[in-house]
Structures are given as C-alpha cells and as structure tokens.
Chains A and B, each alone.
Chain A
Amino acid sequence: MTVTTGLPAAALRRPRTVVVGTMFASASALMTYFGLLAVYLNARADARAAGSEWFPDGVVELGPSGFVFWTLILSTFTVRWAVQAIGNGDRTNAYVAMALTGLFGAAVFNQMWFIINDTGFSLDGSPAEFLFFVVNGTFLVFLILAVIFLALTTLRALFGQFGPRQDDGVASAALFWHTVSFMYWVTWIAVYVTK
C-alpha cells in the first residue's frame, strides 16, 4: 500500500466564467438591438423607395445626439480605467473610474430623454416616429441594464470581492458597457447622421 502525503492539488485554472457568460449575453443583446435597427432601416428604405419623406427636415438634430456619442466615447476610457485599476489593486482609482462611468451613463440617459422629447414625436404617429421611439427606447433599456450591472459591480468591489487576482466582475461590466456604447455608435450613424 502506498501512502502519499503533501499539499492538496491546486485548483484547476479555468477560463473566466463570468466574462465568457457576459460575452454570450452581450452577443445576444447586440443581435436583439441590430434586429430592431434592421427593421428600422428596412422601413426607411421602403419609404424612400416609395418617394415619401421619412423625418420632416430639422426635427431630428445632429447636435444633441453628437453629445451622446462623445459622452459614450469618454465613458469607454473611464470603464477601461476601472478594469486597469482593479487589476493593479488600485481600489481608489477603480472606485473613481466606476463612479465616473456611472455618471456618464446618467448623462447619456438625460440627453436621450431630451432628444426624444425635443422631436415632439408620438408613439402612435407615423411609422417613422413609432420606429424612432422603439429603437431609442430599446437603447435606453440596455443603457439602464448596463448602469445597473456597473452599480452592482461597484458595490461588490466596495465590499472587497474584486482585486488583482479576481477582476472578472469588473471586466464583465466593462464588456457589457462597451457593447451598449457600440449599439449607440451604430445608431448614431444609421439613425441620426444618415437620417
């Protein structure tokens, strides 16, 4: 009989489960949003082919939507800052970065709300107005989900669950944030710039 003694085997190093799950969820969210956007673009192409006007001139302005675009660009840097800081064990910088990202999220929500109200569109108006509501409303839903994800991650970081050896949660929240930002950048070009 052989008796061996020694330290217990090290835990298996697994690929980052939360990040992988978030990657699939983000892909799913992107497909939902781009499915909506495809419906929008198709309806607009049909309207143009029929010779009818999509939006009246001057109703959907580029300026406010551009602010949203640049705010989300800024938030991309701050959310990466959070990931970098938590990976380096620099908690103070990580908290500041996550708080700033959340603030940018609130600013985007505010600007989107202004844009939707500024157009004066109604949900039961023309198909163009209806689809404008649906696309922007769905983006707002995803933005709220991203802010909630980030807030929960920040709370968990405050309670010490993430650090240099375990930054999966922050990396996942950042991944979803990038996904939502990407949604808007495509929307900005497809809905606002090429309106």
Chain B
Amino acid sequence: MTMSESPPREATAESEMLAGVPAGLYRWLSTTDHKVIARLWMGAGSVLLAAGLLLGAAVSAERLDPAEVGLFGGLNSYFQMWSLYRFGMVLLVAVPLFVGLATAVIPGQVGSTEIAFPRAALAAAWTYILGAGIVAVSVVAGGGWGALDGVTTGEADAMALTLLGTGMVMASIVVGSVCLLTTVISLRTSGMNLMRVPLFAWSILVAGTVWVLTLPVAIANIVVIYVDLRGGPLVFGEPEGSTLIYDQLAWLFEQPQVYSVAIPALGVLGSVIPVVARGRQVSHPAMMVLLGAAGLLSVGGWSQPMLAGDNRDLLVFVAFGLAAVLPALAFLGGNAATLKAGDAPVGLPPAHLIGALGAGLMFLAATAAGAVRVIDPLELIATTADTGVMNLAVAAALLGAVAGMVFWGPVAWGRLLPAGQSVLVLLLLLAGGLVAGLSDVVAGLADAPDVMLADQGDGVIDAMVLVSFAGSLLLALAGLGLLGTLFSSWREGTSLDDPWGGHTLEWTTPEAWAETKVASEAPLLDLASTSSSGDDGQEAS
C-alpha cells in the first residue's frame, strides 16, 4: 500500500504567523521565497504596463496634430515622453514581467524548492522598483534621454538622474537574470539534464543570457554619458539641444535587440501548446535549437551607432534582420504540428492558448516587419517603422507574459485569473498590437520620420497615424483591463492546484519531486501515462 500526503499549496495568514513567517512590509523586504519576490516584479510590472500603455496612447494622440504639440507642453516634453514610452515598454514592463514570471515558475519547473541567490533576487526586484521610480520622477522633472530645444543646467541634472535610474533598472534585470540562469544550470533535480528542461525555462536561459551579455554594454554607454554630464567635456549634453543620449541607447529598442524581449513569449507558447494538445512537442530538441537561434539573432549590442555608425550598411545587420524570420516561422510551425497531432478538446480555446498563439504570431509579424526594415532601398530606418517593429515585438512579449500569468496563476500566486476578462485583455492586446505596429510600418514606407514634429502633409501618413492611435487606445484599454483582471483574481479568484493538467514539475509538490522520475521534458505526462497503462493492465488482468 502506498500512502502519499500532500500539504496544502497555499499557507494561510494564520498558519504563517504561527510558523514565525514575517508579515507585512518586513516580509516584502526580507523574504527569500521566490514566489513572493516574483510578485514584486509582476505587481510593479503590471502597474507600469497600464501606465506605459496610457502614455503610449497620449504620445499617439500628440502625433495626430504634431504642429500643435500641446498635450505635454512643448517639443522637449513630447520627446521625453516619446522616449519614456519606448524605454518603459521594453525595460520597465516587458522584461521585468518575464523575470517575475520566471522567478515564480522556473525553480519549480527544474525541481528546486528555491531560486539561486534568493537575497540577490530580492535586491534585484527592489532595485528595479526604485530605479523605475527614479526614472519616472526624473523625466517629470525635465530629465530624460536628451532634449530637442536646449539643455538647461537643471535639465542636465535631471538627465543624469534619469541615467542613474536607467542603469539601476538594467543592473536589476542583469542580477535577476543571473539568479534565474544559475537556477536552471545548477539547481535542476536528478534526471533533468539540459535537454529535458521545459521550454519556458529554456527560453529564459536563452533570453537571460542575451540580457546578461548585452545590457552591460548599454550600462557601459550610460557610464560614459553620466560621467560626461557630471563633469566631462559635455559630448552628450550640448547646450543647443541634442538627442545624442537617446540615439546612443536606441539600439535597445530596435532590431535585433528588441526581439530578445519576446523570446520568453515563445517559451510560453512552447509550454502551453503541449498541455492544451494533451500530448508532447513533436520535437522538443528542435524547439530548443530554434529558441537558441532566435536568441542568437537577437544579440544587438554590436549594432549601436557609436560602434557601428550607419548600421544599415553592415551586411551582418541585414543578414540578422532577414534570418530572424526563420526560427520564428519554424517554431510556430512546430507548435502547430503539436497542436494538430494532439488531442485538444473542441470548443472555445482557453485564454492562455489565445495569448500564447497570439504571442507567436505577433513575434512572427515583428521579425517579418524587421526583415522589411533592413532592406536598404526601402529606407525604413529612422522612420516610424522603428517604432512599428518595437511595438510588434513588445506586443508579442506582453501577450506571452499575460498568457503566462493566466496559465501559471495557480503556481505563481495560487489563484486563477477570471477566464472571460483574461480573454478580453488578450484580444485587446492582440488587436491593439497588430494595428499599432503594422500602421507604423506602413507609415514608415511613406517616409514618416520616427520623431514626428510637424504635419507631414501626406494622406497615407495621416491615415496611418490615425490607425496607430486607434491601436494605442486598444492597448491602453488592455493595460487597464489587466489591472482589473488581477484585482478580480486577488479578490475572488478560485484556487486550483492544477486546472490544466500540466506536464512539468511546477504543477506538483516538492515532496512529489523526489518520487518523480525525470526521464523526459514532461515528467508528469510520463507519470500519467505509466499510471493509465498500469490501470489498463489491472483492468485487463
């Protein structure tokens, strides 16, 4: 006779108090529980997501009539908010949401009860929150990443503060990623070799490596610019006005680097599809190779203007841009084959499937738009196509992150997100991302400059700016909707241990890991197959 006893997943406040677990603010400041640390990343990321998408809608509205730049109070403010939107969506929202989701899920996926270096992970989460706050305050105080109408002394001080906050956010992402990478490399349970790591953990290994190796290059740029502003020869702070600071960091928000933000979304897709299809990936190793290729083609530290000059002339830049489509396409194809080969139930697709598939399609759209952007005769670089590619990649990341939050909600915070609201948020993100991204690419084909300061007098551009504004509004609604969905989940979300029939170890208890033999990337599926064949055998006998 075998007896197993599983403790309840979620400890109650009363039981935690009795067990001596610190409560309140002290708990948030001192915890080493990876799921609590994850909530810091995801909570702050979700609030900033809603704020960032609202800001995006405002910036888009401003473009409707560039001659009357009135919403933000002047050219300089417009440029600050335009650049804050880009910086914010990539480094304050998309990447932190994935770092948070991974912090919650990955230790369990690889069969570890904790994250590597939990205190460093906690420090990273708080540094991110503090850095984001400094960036927001300094931009409002007149800082930012450059100025169009001259830099006053006060603005130079505020810019230095913006750079400090930017550096803090990047450093926090690097430290958080190092904790995750070390968890995947060092804390895997017995039997789980690297080829058996679930695809989400693998995607974080790939994307995290890209972040750990490329964000420090941006930090190096920030060091040069910061020292220059604080006492150097003012190469970057020309009194007559300059966007040199932004130009020097723009490669973070452009292809190929911006693709790295969305690679974990492919990991979410690769994890969700087999569970929905109730089967295995048609080729787990091939999916891993494709994710690795996508990561390799998203390394962009070398493409910054200070090092590469006019990078559209570089053959390697064009080759990276064109080649990036291939792994995206093949990865989507592989997952479509998995879905077809499986036994997915007929009916309305669950929210996480909508989000994950949307993320995959959006990533493909981003790489396709990026491939068009690098074709030299079209002259799309420095047009709104830059923003279009970024919007598509960021939308892919947001769809993946929200789909991941829906899928792993029971693991990350012990509650399901409301299905109807989640579907609505994901559909708004999908529609808004596609409309905003593609319209900017089309406007770029009509030579619309990326920083639009005056009416272009072109019918196509005017129409696309209007369409882009509509897309931004949908995205803003999605951001607000996500906050509402999270609030509903917190207030009245149902708690289920494993509502989807997950295949990987995070869906079971640490006590069960020791008894689960890991012989493939889906140990719980193996266990279920063994049990059902055992039952069949019993019935047959």
Contact = CB atoms under 8 A, between A and B. Distances in A.
A134 B301 contact: no
A32 B116 contact: no
B223 interface: yes
Interface string A32-46: 111110110010000
A134 B212 contact: no
B306 interface: yes
A92 interface: no
A17 B187 contact: yes
Interface residues of B, number: 38
A15 B186 contact: yes
Contacts, number: 101
A77 B182 CA distance: 28
Given A42-B306, A123-B232, A28 B174 contact: yes
Contact of B233 (A1, A42, A127): A127
A134 B327 CA distance: 40
A27 B307 contact: no
A131 B224 contact: yes
Nearest to B302: A38
Nearest to A2: B1
Interface stretch (A18-26, A59-67, A82-90, A152-160): A18-26
Contacts of B234: 124
B220 A33 contact: yes
Majority-rule SS of A interface residues: helix
B532 interface: no
A20 B185 contact: yes
Contacts of A161: none
A16 B214 contact: no
B216 A32 contact: yes
Interface in A60-102: none
B232 to A, nearest CB: 5
A130 B212 CA distance: 27
Contacts of B275: none
Interface in B318-338: none
Contacts of B182: 17, 20-21, 24
Interface string A122-149: 0111110011011001100000000000
B220, B221, B234, B514: which has the most chain A beta carbons within 10 Å? B220
Nearest to A129: B233
**Of A24, A42, A126, A137, which is in contact with the most chain B CB atoms at under 10 Å from its CB?**
A24
A113 B120 CA distance: 32
A12 B189 contact: yes
Interface of B: 1, 116-117, 174, 177-179, 181-182, 185-190, 212-221, 223-224, 227-228, 231-235, 301, 306-307, 514
9 contacts: A9-B514, A17-B117, A24-B178, A31-B212, A32-B223, A34-B220, A124-B231, A125-B233, A127-B233
